[in-house]
Structure 1
Amino acid sequence: MIRFSEKEKRFLASIEEARLATASKSMPHVKPVSFVFMDGAFWVATDYTTRTFKNIKKNPKAAITVDVYRPGGHKAVLAQGKVDLVEEGAEFKKIYEVFFEKFEWVRRDPWKEKEAPFLKLIPVTKTSWGTS
């Protein structure tokens, strides 16, 4: 398991948006996402109809970048890893509660198990700058 420093964890907890990169066989796809970093993994909600979901079904590897750009003070964490789909069960309920608490858009448009999955990106590599 990749370890994150306390400073990196605080940085990740302070940011709500990241960019998630997935790929099918031939074409990468990057999009902004809301995320939560919890228990050493990055969690992202998606829908079954998205390009991201379709890519993950074909290729369960992805990368996520969380960053803040300030001239002379850029901070970022980049992680690459394997993605598990979490659609139901205790793990789904636990992360859903965190998303519900953190994000207004979840409270406005709630969903249930098997209506929309979470992507659980488990890092196998990590790079950070300005956060360690």
Structure 2
Amino acid sequence: MIEFNERETEFLNSLEEARIATSHDDVPHVKPVSFVLDENTIIIATDYETRTYKNLKTNPNSSVIIDIYKSGKHKAVLIQGKTEIIENGDEFKKLYNIFHQKFEWVRRDPWKENEAPFLKIIPKNKTSWGLDSR
């Protein structure tokens, strides 16, 4: 399994927005999402009706970019991996609790098991840049 170094972990834990890329029938799809880092995986909440969810049901490959863009000082972590869909059970409850604690929008609009899944991106490759400069 790919592991994040200390600077990458610190950077990932400092942000809450990412962009996830999926595809279906060779058509790419990218959208902004909220995420958390949990045990060297990227966790994203989604809905069953989204293009992202539908794409991942047929093709579990995904890519996620977490970045801060400043001209000449761009910082980013790019992750490519396989996605597991977590809909219920102990892992769902654990992830839900993490999201509930971190995000106001979850506390405002809560959901239960099998109402909206989590996407668990297990990194197969990663690249980061700009993290040496603060």
- Give the TM interval when normalised to the shorter protein: over 0.9
In 1, Cα distance between equivalents of 2:18 and 2:3: 19
Return the alpha-carbon distance in structure 1 between the equivalents of residues 50 and 66 of structure 2: 21
Cα offset, 1:64, TM superposition: 0.1
2: CA distance, partners of 1:117 / 1:49: 11
Q: Is the 8 A contact 1:41 1:122 kept in 2?
A: yes
* Residue 130 of structure 1, CA deviation: 1.3
Q: For residues 32-78 of structure 1, what are the alpha-carbon distances to aligned partners after superposition, in whole Å with 9 as ceiling and x for unaligned?
A: 00000110100000000000000000100000000001122110000
Kindly state the Cα deviation for residue 82 of structure 1 after the two structures are TM-superposed: 0.2
- Does 1:33 find its partner at 2:33? yes
Whole-angstrom CA distance in 2 between matches of 1:69 and 1:40? 23
Matched, 1:83 2:80: no
User: What residue number does 2:19 align with?
Assistant: 19
Aligned residues: CA RMSD: 0.7
Question: What TM-score does the superposition give when structure 2 sets the normalisation length?
Answer: 0.96
In the alignment, the residues of structure 1 paired with residue 83 and residue 66 of structure 2 have an alpha-carbon distance, to the nearest angstrom, of 17
Is 1:98 the counterpart of 2:98? The answer is yes
Letter matched to residue 111 of structure 1: W
- Count residues in correspondence: 132
* Unpaired runs of at least 5, structure 2: none
Contact 1:25–1:59 (CA under 8 A) maintained in structure 2: no
Percent of aligned pairs with the same residue? 60
What's the TM-score once normalised by structure 1's chain length? 0.98
Secondary structure, aligned partner of 1:114: coil
Give the alignment of 1:41-60 within 5 angstroms: 41-60=41-60
1:19 aligned partner, one-letter code: R
Distance 2:29 2:73 in 1: 27
